Amino acid sequence: MSPSAAPILITGASQRVGLHCAERLLDDGQPVIISYRTERDGVHRLRERGACVIAADFSDEAGILAFIERLKAATPHLRAIVHNASDWLTEAPGHEAEAFQRMFSVHMLAPYLINLHAEALLRHGGPADIVHISDDVARKGSEKRIAYCASKAGLDNLTLSFAARYAPAIKVNGIAPALVMFNDNDDAAYREKTLAKSALGIEPGAEVVYQGLRYLLDNPYVTGTTLTLNGGRHLK
């Protein structure tokens, strides 16, 4: 891919899925911009590989708008925006409203404001995409993470609205994973219980999200669609 190609923005790419997708795009010669909140080893690695790295905290409107200004200063065009940044919060007793606000801000307000303010960066005459990384759990709800799940369901709805508004110049789609990669503190009992929730029963790793992203970027006839990436959880 030519080095003058417009960059792809991945939010929340300092670790795990976002970092993997950013590295795979760089492997393909695709320029990358990431947002990060914590200065992790992954940020240093991406910076060394030539990615543009921008600090951002999407916990409130001011932080989101500050990121948008830094993004506009960093590039005149974007090939795509991948909204990956996410906090997997439970609602601590007595802090439910704070948790809901934080989930709404990172999973809905940030994608909404970035999509609105960065529209012109995507309108450059070439292929352009927005991809929202959601969660398969939005399909049925989550008793343990009500606010998280509701905000991811709202993100799925943003996919439909922005796809209708931005067609035909910009495709807008989603990816809704179930378990892709555990967290280091997930114990054996939790891992066994979680793996049993899907028909395929595996922890696939971040590459399956990159494969879904690649499909959406490369296919000119898909918009307003959310790819289910759940190992067949809906079959159990």
Ligand X SMILES: Nc1nc2c(c(=O)[nH]1)N=C([C@H](O)[C@@H](O)CO)CN2
The contact set with ligand NDP (CB under 6 A) reads: 12, 14-18, 36-38, 56-59, 84-88, 106, 133, 135, 177-181
Our CB check for ligand NDP shows the closer of 169 and 215 to be 215
Please list every residue from 119 through 138 that binds ligand X, using CB under 6 A. 135
Please list every residue from 5 through 64 that binds ligand X, using CB under 6 A. none
For the CB of residue 86, give the shortest distance to ligand X in the complex, in Å. Answer: 3
Answer yes or no: 36 catalytic: no
Our CB check for ligand NDP shows the closer of 75 and 194 to be 194
Tokens representing residue 130 in the block: 């927005």
Candidates 83-91, 114-122, 123-131, 219-227 — which segment interacts with ligand X by CB under 6 A? 83-91
- Taking the C-alpha atoms of residue 194 and residue 192, their distance in angstroms, rounded to an integer, is 5
Residue 11: exposure state from Cβ atoms within 10 A (0-12, 13-18, ≥19): buried
Q: What residue number has its CB nearest to ligand X? A: 86
Q: Is 101 in the site for ligand X (CB under 6 A)?
A: no
Q: Is 179 in the site for ligand X (CB under 6 A)?
A: yes
Could you tell me which residues come within 8 angstroms of residue 18 by beta carbon, excluding any fewer than 6 positions away?
A: 10, 11, 12, 34, 82, 84, 85
Our CB check for ligand X shows the closer of 157 and 194 to be 194
Candidates 3-11, 25-33, 39-47, 178-186 — which segment interacts with ligand X by CB under 6 A? 178-186
Q: Is 149 in the site for ligand X (CB under 6 A)?
A: no
For the CB of residue 220, give the shortest distance to ligand X in the complex, in Å. Answer: 30
Our CB check for ligand NDP shows the closer of 5 and 199 to be 199
Catalytic residue ranges: 148
| Residues making contact with ligand X (CB under 6 A) | 86-88, 135, 178-179, 183, 194
